[in-house]
Amino acid sequence: MSSEATQPQRIDLHTHSTASDGLYAPAQLARLAREAGLDLIALVDHDTTQGVAEAQAAGASLGLTVMPGVEINTDLAGGGEAHILGYEVTPDDPSLASNLGLLRGARERRGERMVANLRAAGFDISWPQVREIAKGAVGRPHVARALINGGYATDVSDAFARYLSPGRPGFSPRYKLAPDDAIRIIRSARGIPTLAHPASIVDLEARVLPHLVGVGLQGLECYYGQYDEATVARLLGLAARFGLIATGGSDYHGPNMHPTPLGGRAVPPEAVTQLREARAAALARSDEPFALTPPNL
């Protein structure tokens, strides 16, 4: 049986549920993880921790530990995206709940704009349809699935490419959040901020990592999905250089969403030990609560 006191041997630190854009409910995800032979998963839904309690309750009955987490999408000042994972956050932290609520509200308004754009272009989809598809925090994948259901696209990638990317009829820009603020949100909830799937970020070594480490980044996702061994080795070198915890996972959303199956990317168990040690240190910090300025969208 897995527990907080037991070192897990098979882990996946990057999974999603229907609380954001995954295909499986949190309890079902926990069951699938245990069936896959996993001892521990981190649930890192986009802009929400609302699936954590359900996943943890299901996991407890199965011998699976569920680490509470969150994933926050941000935009780099020089262009491009940076996704910040928060591990071992306190799910019911008041400032975390308030900040994530603001981000989900911005997601809702963006989704409504995308649907309005598509309807103006002659696509027969509606916001209630998208809202019915999205069990939790809404995102582009939910609009994509409405397009699939309407016969306009074959899969999510097709919908993104033809309708929901910049320059396409349904695209609408999202709220621009700086990674610095995502790191502050996570640290104020005593979590461990980690840079997700970083290999394609421009100027990662020279510009991005030095800056983000300076504002409190503590981890780097080195063992990600389909990264080859050369990429993993490069990222492990950067993690060592900048003193970051090397994490990883499948980025599992469900079948036909990402190529790596649940538990399909091996991650060393010491990643969990290091995250737990960082969490213990975080609990001893005296960070002030951080509050986002409400998005003007």
- Look up residue 20 and give its two tokens: 């954001």
Query: Residue 67's beta-bridge partner residues?
Result: 42
Convert the pLDDT of each residue in 15-72 to its tens digit: 999 999 999 999 999 999 999 999 999 999 999 999 999 999 999 999 999 999 999 9
Convert the pLDDT of each residue in 1-10 to its tens digit: 344 456 689 9
Q: What is the dihedral sign for C-alpha 158, 256, 249, 284?
A: positive
- Look up residue 136 and give its two tokens: 């939790």
Whether residue 141 contacts residue 263, with contact meaning beta carbons closer than 8 Å, is answered with no
Whether residue 191 contacts residue 70, with contact meaning beta carbons closer than 8 Å, is answered with yes
Residue 135, pLDDT score: 86
Task: Output the DSSP codes for 213-237.
Answer: HHTT--EEEEEETT--HHHHHHHHH
- Look up residue 118 and give its two tokens: 């598509």
Domains and CATH numbers, the chain: 11-92+178-283 (3.20.20.140), 101-164 (1.10.150.650)
- In angstroms, the CA 159 to CA 145 distance is 8
Ranges of the chain with pLDDT below 50: 1-4
Taking the CA atoms of the chain, what radius of gyration do you get in angstroms? 19
- In angstroms, the CA 98 to CA 92 distance is 10
The one-character DSSP state at 99 is: H
Residue 191, pLDDT score: 97
- In angstroms, the CA 100 to CA 269 distance is 29
Report field, pTM of the whole predicted structure over 0.85: yes
- In angstroms, the CA 183 to CA 86 distance is 8
Whether residue 272 contacts residue 245, with contact meaning beta carbons closer than 8 Å, is answered with no
Measured between alpha carbons, how far is residue 222 from residues 33, 89, 249 in Å?
Answer: 21, 20, 9
